[in-house]
Amino acid sequence: MAITERRKLGRSELEVSPISFGGNVFGWTIDENTSFEILDNFVAAGGNFIDTADVYSKWAPGNQGGESETILGKWLKQRGNRHQVAIATKVGSDMGVKGKGLSRKHIQQAVEDSLQRLQTDYIDLYQSHIDDENTLLEETLETYGELIRQGKIRVIGASNYSGSRLLQALEISHQNNYPRYESLQPRYNLYDRDGYEGDLQQIAQEYEIGVISYSSIASGFLSGKYRSEKDLSISARGSSIKKYLNPRGFTILEALDGVAKSYNATPTQISLAWLIANPSITAPIVSATNLEQLNDIIQAANLKLDGDAINLLNEASS
């Protein structure tokens, strides 16, 4: 079943699929050929929203950052479909010799580097990857305004911001007629709820900010594949999953198993459907390393959970 729904991102003109594909895997856990195959199938199934960052995947041995954008850029060029997809990338993380942060100088250089790697002349959603408290919010937002006027970026977003800093940025944008953050990218899933459910969720709803959550299936834990420490060795992400192997984590898996059975679905699909059903979430970001995982993800976009299922999952994860 194809993804047909489109959701407005914040108050912007961007209309995106209710699932965003996470490009952190490109050039890390999947090579260029597999990345192309996954992207082709994601778009063929109706997905149009792809999220990456300049720093992806600097952490992998032999990488320096920019690998994900480079693969995505080659795919866009070869397929000639730039206007059919919304590309989101980020700036601000440590790029080694190329620097970090959200100063005018760094953003101006970083955006040119990203445009070159992506082989495009504009970025649909340009996000502040990490809050930079050493740079005035005014400087960052004014720089984004210049880039929008130049046609290099369309919309801006914030990732990993606290509620107070996001609110401050919104007020500065309003006072100075700068562009405002139309999206927020927080860590949020059925297990990791505290960081978002509070002031961030309230601000997002009050100011009509689109939310594109990352770590949507908790590094794979919510897929149900990892139920003991011996299972951790099956993935490159195994070490980041160990923290979920506790009584609360197992209670959540049990609830996911039950709901998945009643919907003839998988735990991954139920986890994503729970996020999609949240009125404050525009599109959870999720990645896949093979077509089987991708098909699992795509099915979630059309899965509508009823109130009882949502309540059961909320209770198990509270």
**Catalytic residue selected from 56, 161, 196, 214:** 56
The residue assigned the tokens 């009584």 is 247
Task: Report the alpha-carbon distance of residue 297 to residue 287 in Å, rounded.
Answer: 8
Task: Report the alpha-carbon distance of residue 193 to residue 186 in Å, rounded.
Answer: 10
Task: Report in angstroms the alpha-carbon separations of 74 from 38, 69, 115, 147, 190.
Answer: 14, 9, 12, 23, 35
Cβ atoms 10, 151 nearer than 8 A? no
Residue 83 structure tokens = 């206007």
- Type of residue at 114: S
Task: Report the alpha-carbon distance of residue 108 to residue 141 in Å, rounded.
Answer: 12
196 is catalytic: no
**DSSP per position, 212-237:** --BSTTGGGGGGT---SGGGGGGSTT
Task: Report the alpha-carbon distance of residue 20 to residue 88 in Å, rounded.
Answer: 9
| Burial (CB count within 10 angstroms: exposed 0-12, middle 13-18, buried 19+), residue 157 | buried
Residues 6+ apart with CB under 8 A from 91: 53, 54, 102, 106, 107, 110, 111, 114, 126, 127, 128, 129
φ, ψ (nearest 5 deg) of residue 202: -65, -45
Cβ atoms 282, 17 nearer than 8 A? no
Catalytic residues: 56
